[in-house]
Amino acid sequence: MKFFAFWRSLASFRVRIALNLKGIVPDEIVDVNLVQGRQREEAYRKVNPQMVLPALIDGDGPVLFQSLAIMEYLDETHPNPPLLPKEPRARARVRGLAQIVACDSHPLLVPRVREYLEHELHLDEPTRLKFIQHWIGAALTALETNLANSKETGRYCQGDQITIADICLVTQATGAGFYKYDTTPFPTVRRIVETCMQNDAFARAHPLKQPGAPASV
């Protein structure tokens, strides 16, 4: 298994957690430096023409792309421990929570969008930061409201089992930290994230623990 990732990429972080939870160690981890724009170079374009991370090649391919799709693939091919509950409504809730992060928040703060804000719209740094924080906050508000008011919330987002919703929640909170967004108003989110981070599979997947990462952002 060949895993294309970058320390700072929150979508790579998701897949790294899933790999750790499943006990899968990729044969090779290819560093694609997003800060240097290496995702746009020919070598990676051949892997993933969308020029985004992560990508995963399992055996003879084809290349797998999009973090949520990769996590579901890993869950289907390595069922233990499961990352989704069994019951359809519970699965829908878990996927919905994950998608609040992966569809409605994270895509608004990825490198290509930040670069567009800077180089096409010529927004200054405080305005760009405000934009990013706005969408981080909108998702955290939606997540907190759901988690705090649902009987299904337990030790984790969905009962007492770790799911892809927890993985996405942790990456959302980590992104909030990157952009100095205060998560104090989201106690349920914080509680679940803290619980997750006590798990070694989450802790050692953290961006700042990856090769090439700085001591802090």
**What residues make contact with a copy of itself under the rule CB under 8 A?**
49-50, 52, 58, 62, 64-66, 68-70, 72-73, 76-77, 88-89, 91-93, 95-96, 98-100, 102-104, 106-108, 112-113, 116, 120-121, 123, 127, 130-131, 134, 138, 141-142, 145-146, 149-150, 152
The residue among 130 and 204 lying less far from a copy of itself, judged by its C-beta, is 130
- Residue 34 CB, nearest distance to a copy of itself (Å)? 15
Q: Which lies closer to a copy of itself via its Cβ, residue 36 or residue 116?
A: 116
Kindly state the smallest distance separating residue 77's Cβ from a copy of itself, in Å: 5
Counting beta carbons within 10 angstroms of the beta carbon of residue 168, is it exposed (0 to 12), middle (13 to 18) or buried (19 or more)? Answer: buried
Task: Tell me the DSSP string of 50-75.
Answer: T--S-EEE-TT-PPEESHHHHHHHHH
Q: How far is CA 185 from the centre of its chain?
A: 21
Name the minimum Å distance from CB 124 to a copy of itself.
11
In the 8-state DSSP scheme, what is residue 120? I
Q: Give backbone dihedrals phi and psi of 110, rounded to 5 degrees, phi first.
A: -75, 165
Distance of closest approach, residue 104 Cβ to a copy of itself, in angstroms: 5
- Smallest gap from Cβ 159 to a copy of itself, in A, equals 14
Minimum Å distance from CB 175 to a copy of itself? 15
| Dihedral (CA of 98, 104, 105, 107) sign | positive
Our CB check for a copy of itself shows the closer of 148 and 217 to be 148
Q: How far, in Å, CA of 15 to CA of 72, rounded?
A: 10
In the complex with a copy of itself, which residue's Cβ is closer, 96 or 212?
96
Burial (Cβ within 10 Å: 0-12, 13-18, ≥19) of residue 151 = exposed
By beta-carbon proximity to a copy of itself, the closer residue of 165 and 205 is 165
Structure token digits, residue 18: 């899933």
Q: For residue 21, give the H/E element and its range.
A: helix 10-22
Q: Tell me whether residue 67 or residue 210 sits nearer to a copy of itself (CB atom).
A: 67
Measured distance CA(134)–CA(140) in Å, rounded: 10
